[in-house]
Amino acid sequence: MKSVPLVRLLAGLAAFICVSAAHGQLTVSGDTTLNSNHPTFNYGSLSNLYVSASQKTLVQFDLSALPAGTTASQLARATVSLYVNRVNTPGLISVAPVNASWNEYSVTNATAPAIGTAFTSFTATIPGQYVVIDVTSQVQSWLSSPGTNFGIALTTNAANVLLDAKENDQTSHASSLDVVITSMGATGATGAIGPQGPQGIQGIQGVTGAVGPQGVAGAAGATGAIGATGATGATGAPIAFKNTWSSSTIYAIGDAVFYNGSSWIALTSNLNVTPGSDGTVWALLAQQGATGATGATGAQGIQGIQGIVGATGATGAQGAAGVTGATGATGATGATGSPVSFQGTWSSTTAYNIGDAVFYNGSSWIALSGNFNITPGSDGTVWALLAQQGATGATGATGATGATGAQGIQGIQGVTGSQGTAGAAGATGATGATGATGASGTVAYQSVYSAGTTYSLGDVVSDSNYYNSYISLANNNVGNALPVGNTPTAFWARLASQGAQGLQGNVGPAGATGAQGATGATGATGPAGTAGDGQTLTSLPLVVVGHGAASTQANFSLTSSAATTSSTSNYYIVATLAPSSCHAYVTIYSPSNAITWNLFEATYSGGSTFGTPSSSSCATSSGNSYSCTIDGGTVSAGTALWLNETNATLANFTTAFSCQ
C-alpha cells in the first residue's frame, strides 16, 4: 500500500500541539473511456484508459471506506495515483470534476455526464511510471456534499496517453486514491482505557513474509448455474483478415491483422499506424492467450478450408486452495530510543551519539546515528533539523549613564612621575529596564503556496512537494517568491524542512484466502470447417487468398484443376470447392479504383474449361472505402469461383474468401 507522508509544518510548536495522522488507500469503483469518433461505443471493460484530443477518461472512487463521520476539515491531503502505460504524444492533461452520475459498463460519448471546470493538471511525458495528482480540495468538497461524488475526468487538447484501467490483469497498476486524515488539539490528561474501537484504516503494507507450508486442500465448490444468454448484438462490418501487420500496407475499416501476439481491427482506413499506438485507429480484437492443453489426435480428415473458429471453452476449475497457515507470534517490542542530550555548539573534534543535540549556524540539530566530523545539514541521514534559527530580536534600550562624581580640590603640582599602570576599569552602569513584550502573533496554515494568493503576517504555506514550510513576515504578501535555503527574504522565512523517514512498521498478518469461485459453463463447440482442396491456410474465418492486378493473375489457383490462361484471360481464380458445399462470400479491396467486380460460379468439366457460369457483382468506390463484398450464395461441391472486372483494366487489389 502506498501513502504520502504528512508534512511536519510546525516543528517549533511540537511541545504544545499534538498531531495525529491516519493514512489510507481507496480503490477505484469505476473507470472508462469516452470516444467522440465512436460516440455510441462503451469501453468500460477495456484494460487501458485513453486520453487524447478525441478521447477522455472518467475515474470514480468509493469514499465509503473512510471512517464514519469523516469531515472535510479532517482531510489533510488526498492524491490520485495513475499508472502511465504508454505515451504516444507527451502533453498537458487537465483534471476536472464529473457533475452527474454514470455507469462504466453503459456510458458512451453520446450519453456522457457533464464535466466541470478543471481544478488542476499534470504533464505526461514518461511511460512506465505513476503520476500523482493533488485532489485535496475536490475530495473535501465531496465529503462536504457526499451526493456530488461522481469522480474526475481527464481531458487534453494535444496529448495522446494510455493509462492502466482496473481491468488490466497484465500489470495490476490500477488507479488509487491516497488520503491522510488528521485531528489536532491540545494534549489532555490520559483518560481511562475505552472499549475496543472499530477496525482502523488498512496499515502500510508490510514486507512479504516467508511462504507457509501447503495447506490441506479444501473441498471443490459447487458449479454455479449457467447465466442467461445475452441479447444478440448488431451485425458489424465484415472483417477482412490481412495476416501480420505491415507498415507498407493500406488498411480499410474492418481489416484485421496479427501484431505482437494479439489480433487488432481497423476502426478507420490507415497506412503505417502501428496497432496499439492510437485507439481511434486500431482496437484490440483478441489478446494473446495462454497455450491450451494439447487435445487428443483425431482421425485424419480431408483437408478443408478453415472453418469459423468456435467459441473458446471455459477454463477448467482451479484446484482448491489450501487452508491458511496460522499467523506467527508478534515480535517483541524494540528497546526505547536514546533520550535527547544537548551537547552545546557542534565541534568537528567531538564524537556524537544517537539523540545528541547541537547548536550550529543559528539552528538546532539532532543526531540520527553515531558520527564524527559530519557537518549538520550536509547529510540528512546523520543530522535532522530540530529547530530553525529565529529572526534576530530588536536591540534593547541603552542603559542610563551614571552620575558624575564631585570635583576634587586642586592638589599641589608634583614632579612629573613615570607613567603609572592602567587603572582598573570603572564599574558597569546599571542595566536598562526591559522593554514591553510585543503582541502575540498568529500562525495559520494556508496549504500549498500560490503566487496569486494574498497572505497575512503569520500565514504558513508548504512548497508543492510538501518538503518545506514557510511563514509570512508581512501583511498583503502577494506574488513574492519563497526563499531558497535558510536565508529569509523581506516577506518569507523557512519554518521547517522535511524530517527523516520513520522506521518500517511491523509486518501485518496475511489475509485469509478467498473462497474458490464457481466454474463457468463450457462453451459450445464451433461448427466443423468445410473440406478444402489441399492448400494450407490460416486458422481464421476470413482468408486472404491472393492479391495483384486482374490482367496479370489469371493463372492463380488453389487446385490442379483450375482454369488456364488461354481460356480465362483477365480472370482471377478464387477457389475450387470439393467435396462439400457451403455459403460463399468474397471481399475485394482495390484502393483508389472505382470498378465493378464479377463473381463467376461453374462446375469444373475437365481440361481448361468450366461449365456455363452464373455471376453476381459488387462495385468498389470512394463511398465504401474501395471495399465491397459479393454474396455468392450456397455453392455446391465441385464448383469453381473466379473474378474479373468489367473493363479488364490493370488494377491493384486484394481478395478475401470465406466459406461458412
Encode pLDDT of 404-437 as tens digits. 666 655 655 555 556 666 667 667 767 767 666 6
pLDDT on residue 1:
36
Residue 113, C-beta contacts closer than 8 angstroms, at least 6 positions apart: 58, 98, 99, 100, 101, 102, 107, 150
pLDDT of residue 306 exceeding 60: no
pLDDT on residue 604:
56
pLDDT band at 551 (very low <50, low <70, confident <90, very high): very low
CA angle 642, 647, 652 (to 5 degrees): 65
- Regarding whether 555 and 489 lie in a shared domain, the answer is no
pLDDT band at 471 (very low <50, low <70, confident <90, very high): very high
pLDDT on residue 98:
96
Burial class, 484, CB count within 10 angstroms (exposed 0-12 / middle 13-18 / buried 19+) = exposed
Residue with cell 486514491: 177
Q: pLDDT tens for residues 165-197?
A: 988 877 668 889 999 988 644 444 666 777 776
Q: Is residue 413 part of a domain?
A: no
pLDDT band at 473 (very low <50, low <70, confident <90, very high): very high
Q: Which domain holds residue 103?
A: 11-185
Q: Which residue has the higher pLDDT, 528 or 639?
A: 639
Q: What is the mean pLDDT of residues 55-63?
A: 93
Q: Is residue 166 part of a domain?
A: yes
Q: Is residue 504 part of a domain?
A: no
- Regarding whether 141 and 21 lie in a shared domain, the answer is yes
pLDDT band at 540 (very low <50, low <70, confident <90, very high): very low
DSSP annotation string for 268-332 = S-EES--TTS-TTTEEEEEPPPPPPPPPPP----------PPPPPPPPPPPPPPBPPPPPPPPPP
CATH number, domain with residue 281: 2.10.10.20
Give first-to-last CA distance, the chain, whole Å: 52
Q: What is the mean pLDDT of residues 453-469?
A: 90
CATH number, domain with residue 637: 2.60.120
Q: pLDDT tens for residues 245-278?
A: 999 999 999 899 999 888 889 999 999 999 999 9
DSSP annotation string for 383-407 = EEEEEPPPPPPPPPPPPPPPPPPPP
pLDDT on residue 232:
58
Residue with cell 475536490: 138
pLDDT on residue 15:
29
C-alpha closest to that of 360 among 394, 387, 392, 391: 387
pLDDT of residue 476 exceeding 90: yes
C-alpha closest to that of 150 among 67, 72, 58, 71: 58
The answer to whether the beta carbons of residues 309 and 539 sit under 8 Å apart is yes
pLDDT band at 565 (very low <50, low <70, confident <90, very high): very low
Q: Look at the chain and report how many structural domains it folds into.
A: 5
Quote the CA–CA distance of 519 and 503 in Å, as a whole number: 45
- Regarding whether 281 and 175 lie in a shared domain, the answer is no
Per-residue cell: 214: 501447503
Q: Mean of the per-residue pLDDT values for the chain?
A: 75
pLDDT of residue 78 exceeding 70: yes
Q: Which residue has the higher pLDDT, 168 or 629?
A: 629
- Regarding whether 552 and 491 lie in a shared domain, the answer is no
Per-residue cell: 647: 473493363
Weakest-pLDDT range from 86-90, 550-554, 575-579: 550-554
CA angle 401, 402, 405 (to 5 degrees): 135
pLDDT on residue 416:
58
pLDDT on residue 547:
38
- Regarding whether 50 and 168 lie in a shared domain, the answer is yes
Give the whole-number percent of the chain exceeding pLDDT 70: 61
**Alpha-carbon 272 to chain mean position:** 28
Quote the CA–CA distance of 447 and 56 in Å, as a whole number: 30
pLDDT on residue 331:
58
Quote the CA–CA distance of 85 and 172 in Å, as a whole number: 11
Q: pLDDT tens for residues 102-154?
A: 999 999 999 999 999 999 999 999 999 999 999 999 999 999 998 999 999 99
pLDDT on residue 636:
74
- Regarding whether 134 and 17 lie in a shared domain, the answer is yes
Q: What is the mean pLDDT of residues 504-512?
A: 76
CATH number, domain with residue 455: 2.10.10
